[in-house]
């Protein structure tokens, strides 16, 4: 129990734990201390803006309230009861407004602007400034997604503190000193970092604005819909702003256990894929080799029914893992109970074993020892998890990454072997994990048997009995768990071997872009694709049914913690919702699928989620208790790591965050996509006389790619890393030479 | 330079602390902190060029733009201002034919106004290549300029 202190604010006695910030203490008592620069998530207060001035008994001058903490006997007066504080805040605002333009009527922030609000309440009604205001070129593109208006900047340093102290990308910085300070990037290069968009939301004035949202809407004509982002398995809570039914921007919505109010640029800016020019808005039938003809819904349903009936159960379903649980269940129920088709290509393996070591993501912050196993950068698989790791490290936690580019270097693909070693008695790190009460394991690699690998290690280390210790598996798909649950909930029958495949049903653009699914399609007589984008299905799908985006769906999804969260429809899709036509199609086979997500959830939740209701999920869903599941035995068959012989290098492809059908259709995000680069270790580069920026030829048996070299001092010698979209046809071992 | 900076880095518990000495090495080598020099320093420190530039821009003694071979700085802070620093600065401007902050066309001399040089008892302080002359009066200026031009 922390020590309580009693202090007085505006003649009111308040009791709070010692060390609570004065702003929070006042807020708890219903008293406002206005702020601009203060934001506890950005680290210690800096007192840059002086908006929070308060009078404190015994101190001769006004104090910056945000930099003070609650102490016993403190007597604080805010502007409400102190003329001196009121005058101080009034003067602060007068100074802030000296050079601030009065362009509120055309400023995107106008109407939801802290500077506007606080000026109205605490500031001077008139100006004494008779000189011309300082002007700059504007707007300055900080990146294709962010515009900077320097005239409006009040130098609160929120954005640069975020860049330095939260995202730790050190790219948005203050230049020069004092009143001459400018917010800028190096040599006007774009601010290219996965979390850059958060600075728009942090800006308390209209200095940093979104290029997508500029001049698109006024605050009084928008609707904000609370939903959940399902672009990656984290499931950040978001608010979707719409105007006249169109999505205009996405803001973070703080779920303290999941995202702490941060959102990556993919989640924030990728929404314009809804309006992609090749969006499928009508059912399509294949004509000629690479062409489609539009057909009516009636024709489409007739055709689908005919094809499915003729398949005799020899149907394979390929799912994306981005479907809502309800949508996947509707599809599963139709195909499994209506057609006896049980063969599915699930997006990835899932295993409930990980649930025995379940923790909220926020537990990472409080951990003392965190071990990340695997070759994939956490930020590419589950971006916000990387912010939690950085927060933990700043708080003094030790973060050990074990992989081909980790703090401990291991051969690529040896994550499972690493787990085995950590569980063994000879591992010093394993011993420390075992002894710690607050240790966390994270699997960040492909494979891992849906969490079974890392769960087995957690079991061996005795995490089951330690509520502070836990394990996370970072999956490759946003809702793979939920989709697998839905598939299982629909039926537990086994089906016939669908060989040869009569019909391949491909659900979602991710599955449709997957090379394995494409290979299956070549063996299938008929392919039905449910996709959003025409080009994804062009040339190989026979029948295309329009798909919808997560922003257009109502339903639920399960994130990597195992947290069920509620999605709400922010925009009406330009096409019929999947569930509505699935319901009609199912009826033709005598299967009852509701066209509405709520009854569908109710039906399946009874089977797989213990009768949980949508109401219980709420807007900020809680995490279920840890499951009592015996830890699985570790899998003895681990793939041996491939050694490098110096001449040939091991190719380590990774899936970048900024990739996929949606991102490809957002012009503003193209600069974030991985460059055509090959990352080389220092040793390998030296040996080949290659320096950073050189053009090199990457060759494997029969295939080659010309890429730019980038030296990575952290990479294990003998390994090269390439984003999978640039690695395309390269084999597992490659030669790298200067052309 | 990479190796030189590694040696400095090793002397500090946090590598960031090495940024000022590292920037000084780069400036000594290139004359001013060119974008490439900042990239080099950043690479050696495992920081971003933006961070290095941000730090450098805070300090008067780092140059983010080309400077002349010789550097003449006139303190114009309060103590020096009280004894006529402005007149000294103007005398330099007239003698060199440039404004404060500029470099002569031949690339020989850069003139700058300086914040407090710490010589408040002996104003006006003038620093020639960081060596102080004090006190300097406007009438001393032509001789100083001549000396600088002659390589003294």
Per DSSP, the residues of A287-354 read ETTTEEEE--HHHHHHHHHHHHHTTTT-EEEEE-S-S-HHHHHHHHHIIIIIH---EEE-SS---GGG
Closest residue by Cα to residue A377 from A508, A474, A236, A245: A474
State the nearest Cα–Cα gap between B146 and chain A, in angstroms.
33
- B54: chain A residues, CB-CB within 8 Å: 173-175
Average pLDDT over residues A61-77: 95
Given the DSSP bridges, would you call strands A343-345 and A315-319 parallel, antiparallel or unpaired? Answer: parallel
Mean pLDDT (chain A, rounded): 93
CA distance to B72, B116, B130, B134, per residue, from B119 (Å): 16, 8, 13, 8
How high is the pLDDT of residue A491?
A: 87
Q: Do B50 and A174 touch (CB under 8 A)?
A: no
* Three-class DSSP category at A624: coil
The predicted structure's pLDDT at residue A592: 95
> Is the pLDDT score of A341 beyond 80?
yes
pLDDT of residue A615: 87
Distance of residue A88 Cα from the nearest chain B Cα, in angstroms: 27
Find out whether A457 and A423 touch, Cβ atoms under 8 Å.
Answer: yes
**Measured between CA atoms, how close is A38 to chain B, in angstroms?**
22
Tokens, residue A432: 């420390």
* pLDDT for A631: 65
Instruction: Give the span between the Cα atoms of A393 and A125, in whole angstroms.
Output: 46
Least confident of A268-272, A317-321, A605-609, B109-113: A605-609
User: pLDDT tens, B69-94?
Assistant: 999 999 999 999 999 999 999 999 99
Please state, rounded to an integer, the average pLDDT across all residues of chain B.
93
pLDDT band at A220 (very low <50, low <70, confident <90, very high): very high
Sign of the torsion angle spanned by Cα atoms A305, A308, A310, A312: negative
**What are the chain A neighbours of B35 within 8 Å (beta carbons)?**
186-187
| pLDDT score, position A494 | 78
Task: Give alpha helix (H) positions in A466-532.
Answer: 480-490, 509-513, 515-523
Would you place residue A713 in the very low, low, confident or very high pLDDT band (cuts 50, 70, 90)? confident
Residues ≥6 apart with Cβ < 8 Å to A201: A251, A252
* A175–B57 C-beta distance less than 8 A: yes
Contacts of A175 in chain B (CB under 8 A): 53-54, 57
Closest Cβ opposite residue B50 in set A173, A177, A713: A173
Residue with tokens 């601030």: A100
Q: Is the pLDDT of residue A589 over 70?
A: yes
Number of inter-chain CB pairs under 8 A, A vs B: 33
DSSP notation for A381-400: HSHHHHHHHHHHHHTT-EEE
Contact A175 B49 (CB under 8 A): no
What are the residues facing B4 on neighbouring strands?
none
**How far is residue A219's CA from residue A205's CA, in Å, rounded to a whole number?**
14
Q: What is the mean pLDDT of residues A490-507?
A: 86
Residue A80: CB atoms within 10 A of its CB come to 14
Q: Is the pLDDT of residue A641 over 80?
A: no
Q: What are the structural domains, with CATH classification, of chain B?
A: 2-58 (1.10.10.1590), 70-149 (3.40.30.10)
d(CA A323, CA A579): 11
Please write the tens of the pLDDT for every residue from B45-58: 999 999 999 999 99
Name the closest residue on chain B to residue A188, using Cα atoms: B50
Chain A residues close to B48, C-beta within 8 Å: 169-171, 186
For A183, name the nearest residue in chain B, comparing CA atoms only.
B54
Q: What per-residue confidence (pLDDT) applies to A247? A: 96
What is residue B25's three-state secondary structure? helix
DSSP A154: -
**Residue A624 confidence class, pLDDT cut points 50, 70, 90:** confident
Closest CA to B107 of B146, B66, B75, B139: B66
Q: Positive or negative CA dihedral for A658, A663, A669, A673?
A: positive
Q: How far is B59 from chain A (nearest CA, A)?
A: 8
Strand bridging mode A439-443 / A470-473: parallel
Asked if A398 and A368 count as a contact pair (C-beta separation under 8 A), the reply is yes
pLDDT, average across residues A165-181 = 94
Q: Do B54 and A169 touch (CB under 8 A)?
A: no
* pLDDT computed for residue A645 by the predictor: 62
| Chain segment A417-437, per-residue pLDDT in tens | 999 899 988 899 999 999 999
Among the partner-chain residues A170, A177, A713, the one whose CB lies closest to the CB of B48 is A170
Q: Do A175 and B54 touch (CB under 8 A)?
A: yes
Q: What is the pLDDT of residue A1?
A: 67
pLDDT of B4 over the 80 cut: yes
CA distances to A691, A708, A718, B43, B45 from A677, rounded to whole Å, are 13, 5, 17, 18, 23
Alpha helices in A609-690 (DSSP H): 614-617, 661-664, 682-687
Q: Per residue in A667-704, pLDDT tens?
A: 999 999 999 999 999 899 999 999 989 999 999 888 89
- Average pLDDT of A358-387? 96
Q: What is the pTM of this model?
A: 0.94
A447 pLDDT band, cuts 50/70/90, is confident
Q: Three-class SS of residue A208?
A: strand
* DSSP-derived secondary structure letter, B109: E
Q: What are the structure tokens assigned to A514, written together?
A: 């997957």
CB–CB of B48 and A174 under 8 A?
Answer: no
Q: Which parts of A65-181 fold into alpha helices (H)? A: 83-96, 114-122, 158-165
Residues in CB range of B24: below 8 A, 6 or more apart: B62
The residue to which tokens 């029914």 are assigned: A305
Nearest CA of chain A to the CA of B61: how many Å? 12
Torsion angle in degrees (nearest 10) through CA of A659, A663, A666, A667: 0
Q: Which residue has the higher pLDDT, A630 or A301?
A: A301
Helices (H), A181-324: 198-202, 265-269, 297-309
Nearest Cα residue to A83 out of A115, A123, A55: A55
Smallest CA–CA distance, residue B136 to chain A, in Å, is: 28
Measured between beta carbons, which residues in chain A are less than 8 angstroms from residue B19?
none
C-alpha distance from B49 to closest chain A C-alpha (Å): 6
Nearest-by-Cβ selection for B54 from A173, A187, A713 = A173
What is the spatial distance between Cα A329 and Cα A604, in angstroms, rounded to a whole number? Answer: 8
Question: Is a pLDDT exceeding 80 seen at residue A635?
Answer: no
| A186–B35 C-beta distance less than 8 A | yes
Quote the DSSP letter at residue A734: E
Q: Is the pLDDT of residue A15 over 90?
A: yes
What element of type H or E holds A698? Answer: strand A695-700
Please state the rounded mean pLDDT for residues A452-463.
Answer: 93
Beta bridge partners, A191, equal none
B60 falls in which pLDDT band (50, 70, 90)? Answer: confident
Do B54 and A185 lie within an 8 Å CB cutoff?
A: no
Residues of A at the B interface, defined by Cβ within 8 angstroms:
164, 169-177, 184-187, 713
Which pLDDT score is estimated for A647? 78
| Minimum Cα–Cα distance from A171: chain B residue | B50
Chain A hits for B47, Cβ within 8 Å: 170
Which residue of A lies nearest to B38 if distances are taken between CA atoms? A186
Q: Do A186 and B58 touch (CB under 8 A)?
A: no
Q: What pLDDT, on a 0 to 100 scale, did the predictor assign at position A634?
A: 62
Q: How confident is the model at residue A638 (pLDDT cuts 50, 70, 90)?
A: low
């Amino acid at each position: 129990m922390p020590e309580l202190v009693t202090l007085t604010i505006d003649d009111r006695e308040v009791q709070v734990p010692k060390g609570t910030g004065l702003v929070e203490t006042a807020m708890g008592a219903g008293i406002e201390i206005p702020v601009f620069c203060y934001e506890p998530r950005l680290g210690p207060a800096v007192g840059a803006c002086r908006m929070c001035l308060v009078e404190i008994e015994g101190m001769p001058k006004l104090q910056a309230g945000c930099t003070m903490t609650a102490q016993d006997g403190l007597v604080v007066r805010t502007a409400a009861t102190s003329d001196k504080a009121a005058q101080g805040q009034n003067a602060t605002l007068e100074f802030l407004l000296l050079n601030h333009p009065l362009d509120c009527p055309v400023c995107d922030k106008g109407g939801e602007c802290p500077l506007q609000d606080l000026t109205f309440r605490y500031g001077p009604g008139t100006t004494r400034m008779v000189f011309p205001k300082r002007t700059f070129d504007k707007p300055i593109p900080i990146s294709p997604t962010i515009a900077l208006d320097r005239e409006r900047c009040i130098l609160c340093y929120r954005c640069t503190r975020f860049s330095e102290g939260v995202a730790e990308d050190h790219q948005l910085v203050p230049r020069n000193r004092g009143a001459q300070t400018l917010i800028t990037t190096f040599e006007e290069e774009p601010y290219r970092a996965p979390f850059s968009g958060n600075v728009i939301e942090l800006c308390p004035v209209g200095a940093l604005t979104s290029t997508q949202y500029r001049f698109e809407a006024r605050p009084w004509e928008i609707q904000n819909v609370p939903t959940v982002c399902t672009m990656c398995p984290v499931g950040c809570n978001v608010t979707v702003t719409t105007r006249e039914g169109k999505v205009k921007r996405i803001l973070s919505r703080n779920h303290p256990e999941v995202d702490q109010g941060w959102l990556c640029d993919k989640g924030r800016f990728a929404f314009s894929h809804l309006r992609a020019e090749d969006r499928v808005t009508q059912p399509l039938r294949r004509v000629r080799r690479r062409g489609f003809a539009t057909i009516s819904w009636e024709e489409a349903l007739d055709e689908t029914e005919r094809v499915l009936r003729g398949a005799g159960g020899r149907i394979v379903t390929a799912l994306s893992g981005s479907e809502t649980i309800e949508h996947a269940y509707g599809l599963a129920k139709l195909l499994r109970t209506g057609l006896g088709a049980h063969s599915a290509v699930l997006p990835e393996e899932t295993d409930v074993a990980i649930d025995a070591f379940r923790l909220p993501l926020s537990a990472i912050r409080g951990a003392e020892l965190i071990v990340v196993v695997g070759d994939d950068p956490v930020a590419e698989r589950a971006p916000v998890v990387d912010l939690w790791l950085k927060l933990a490290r700043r708080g003094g936690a030790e973060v050990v990454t074990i992989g081909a580019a980790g703090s401990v270097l291991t051969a690529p693909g040896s994550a499972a072997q690493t787990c085995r070693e950590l569980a063994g008695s000879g591992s010093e790190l394993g011993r420390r994990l075992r002894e710690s009460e607050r240790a966390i394991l994270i699997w960040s690699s492909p494979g891992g048997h849906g969490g079974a690998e890392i769960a087995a290690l957690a079991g061996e280390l005795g995490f089951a009995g330690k509520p502070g210790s836990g394990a996370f598996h970072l999956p490759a798909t946003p809702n793979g768990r939920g989709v697998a649950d839905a598939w299982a909930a629909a039926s537990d029958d086994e089906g016939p071997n669908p060989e040869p495949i009569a019909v391949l049903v491909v659900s979602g653009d991710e599955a449709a872009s997957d090379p394995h699914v494409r290979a299956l399609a070549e063996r299938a007589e008929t392919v039905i694709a449910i996709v959003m984008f025409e080009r994804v299905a062009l040339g190989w799908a026979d029948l295309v049914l329009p798909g919808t985006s997560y922003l257009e769906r109502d339903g639920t999804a399960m994130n990597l913690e195992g947290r069920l969260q509620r999605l709400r429809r922010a925009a009406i899709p330009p096409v019929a919702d999947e569930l509505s036509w699935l319901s009609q199609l199912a009826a033709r086979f005598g299967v009852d699928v509701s066209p509405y997500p709520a009854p569908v959830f109710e039906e399946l939740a009874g089977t797989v989620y213990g009768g949980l209701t949508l109401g219980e999920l709420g807007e900020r869903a809680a995490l279920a208790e840890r499951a009592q599941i015996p830890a699985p035995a570790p899998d003895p068959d681990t793939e041996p790591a491939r050694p490098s012989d110096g001449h040939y290098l091991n190719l380590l492809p990774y899936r970048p965050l900024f990739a996929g059908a949606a991102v490809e259709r957002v012009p503003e995000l193209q600069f974030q996509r991985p460059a055509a680069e090959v990352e080389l270790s220092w040793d390998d580069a030296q040996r080949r006389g290659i320096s950073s920026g050189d053009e090199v030829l990457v060759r494997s048996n029969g295939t080659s790619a010309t890429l730019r070299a980038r030296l990575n001092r952290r990479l294990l010698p003998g390994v090269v890393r390439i984003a999978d979209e640039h690695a395309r046809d390269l084999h597992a071992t490659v030669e790298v030479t200067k052309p | 330079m990479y190796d030189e900076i590694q040696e400095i880095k090793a002397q500090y518990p946090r590598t960031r602390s090495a940024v000022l000495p590292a920037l000084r090495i780069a400036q000594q080598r290139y004359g001013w902190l060119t974008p490439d020099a900042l990239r080099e320093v950043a690479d050696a420190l495992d920081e971003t060029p933006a961070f290095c530039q941000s730090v450098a821009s805070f300090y008067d003694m780092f140059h983010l733009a080309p400077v002349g071979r010789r550097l003449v700085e006139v303190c114009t802070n309060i103590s020096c201002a009280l004894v006529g620093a402005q007149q000294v600065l103007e005398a330099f401007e007239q003698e060199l034919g440039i404004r404060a902050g500029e470099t002569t066309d031949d690339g020989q001399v850069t003139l700058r106004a300086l914040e407090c040089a710490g010589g408040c008892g002996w104003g006006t302080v003038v620093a020639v290549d960081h060596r102080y002359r004090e006190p300097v009066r406007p009438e001393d200026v032509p001789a100083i300029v001549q000396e600088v031009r002659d390589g003294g």
